[in-house]
Structure 1
Amino acid sequence: MENLHIVFWLFKDIGWCLFWKPLGLIMIIPTLAISIIIVYRTRDLMSELCHNLAITFWISANSYWMISEFMHIDALKFYGDITYKHLALIPFLLGVFCLAFYYAIWQPRHPNEIETM
Structure 2
Amino acid sequence: MENLHIVFWLFKDISWCIILKPLGILMIFPTLIISIVIAWRTRALMSELCHNLAITFWITANSYWMISEFFAFDEKMIWGGISYKQLTLVPFLLGMFILMYYYLYWRPRHLDVIETM
Give the 3-state SS of the residue equivalent to 1:111 in structure 2.
coil
Corresponding residue number in structure 2 for 1:56: 56
Aligned counterparts of 1:80 and 1:70: Cα–Cα separation in 2: 23
Q: How does 1:38-49 map to 2 (within 5 A)?
A: 38-49=38-49
Corresponding residue number in structure 2 for 1:77: 77
Q: TM-score, normalised by structure 2?
A: 0.99
Q: CA deviation at 1:47?
A: 0.1
Corresponding residue number in structure 2 for 1:105: 105
Letter in 2 for 1:65: W
Aligned counterparts of 1:44 and 1:95: Cα–Cα separation in 2: 18
Give the 3-state SS of the residue equivalent to 1:73 in structure 2.
coil
Aligned counterparts of 1:42 and 1:78: Cα–Cα separation in 2: 37
Corresponding residue number in structure 2 for 1:89: 89
Aligned counterparts of 1:46 and 1:97: Cα–Cα separation in 2: 14
Gaps of 5+ in 2: none
Q: How many residues align?
A: 117
Q: How does 1:1-80 map to 2 (within 5 A)?
A: 1-80=1-80
> Where has structure 1 moved over 3 Å in runs of 4 or more?
none
Identity %: 69
Q: TM-score, normalised by structure 1?
A: 0.99
